[in-house]
Amino acid sequence: MPLKIGFKRNEKNGVVFYTIPSFEETGVVKHLFTTRIGGVSKGKYASLNLSLKRFDIKEEVYENFKIICAVGEFTCQNMVFSDQVHGNVVRKITYEDRGKNFGGSDIVGVDGLVTDEREIPLVTFHADCVPLFFLDPVKKVVALSHAGWRGTVARIGPNTVEVMKREYNSNPKDILVGIGPSIYKCCYEVGEDVAERVKEAIGDWKEVLVKKSDGKWLLDLQHANYIELVSSGIPDENITVSQICTSCNLEFYSYRRDKGITGSMAAFVELK
């Protein structure tokens, strides 16, 4: 069977967000990927900015989290945030990690989170980089990873699968994956240095890189992660690829399109 194309667009109480149909069908998980629509932030950060690392008003960011937690029915006080450094470290999250979010967290240098605990929303942040959602509905395990080009060539996706196998005895054939909205091949121009790193990491690199007439390259990060995940044992039919571009689609923040002055979306996943 071929991989699945397309996340589902939803709107609730004025908030626009995306979900993965295969995840919804299991009935064991709450999840979503946010857009910029439905919050209280203003100006360049309008309106559902979820990052405190920008120059937004922190009280408005907190309010945005309350809004999205209400929409997604997440256990807001238990949220656990990643501390993203464009690496490939994946951390196991336990009951003791509940509430490691806005401050005082010891989660440092981590781009992936995985847990089998209920009622702990895992959260990663994105403004062009690829959100990777993982669900093992058999062992009841969820994970999220943040994959920019550096994380992709460092195999953050396969590393997440390995942690699920090692810590929870997950079988890759059971794992469902969603490759979410990110800057897409239509807009993601990279130089020769990045292209060479991708060529070294991706065996089928001609499927993810297209050379332009000016010597630059267009990179398909979503498909690069798909190739890596298939190589780690995830069946084609278990993978849903959004094929949504955060740069083209004005529903989203885009670091590159907005020249760094922008907000951030977030990926959420929580076992019921």
Q: What percentage of the chain exceeds 90 in pLDDT?
A: 95
* DSSP per position, the chain: -PPEE-PEEEEETTEEEEE-HHHHHHSSEEEEEE-S-S----GGGTTT---SSSSS-HHHHHHHHHHHHHHHT--GGG-EE-B--SS--EEE--GGGTT-SSSS----SB-EEEE--BT--EEEEESSSEEEEEEETTTTEEEEEEE-HHHHHTTHHHHHHHHHHHHH---GGG-EEEE--B--TTT-EE-HHHHHHHHHH-TTGGGTEEE-TTS-EEE-HHHHHHHHHHHTT--GGGEEE---BTTT-TTS--TTTTTT----EEEEEEE-
Q: Is residue 3 very low, low, confident or very high in pLDDT (cuts 50, 70, 90)?
A: confident
Domains of the chain: 4-182+234-271 (3.60.140.10)
pLDDT in tens, 117-171: 999 999 999 999 999 999 999 999 999 999 999 999 999 999 999 999 999 999 9
Q: Is residue 2 very low, low, confident or very high in pLDDT (cuts 50, 70, 90)?
A: low
pLDDT at residue 65 tops 70:
yes
pLDDT in tens, 82-116: 999 999 999 999 999 999 999 889 999 999 999 99
Predicted pLDDT of residue 174: 98
pLDDT at residue 1 tops 60:
no
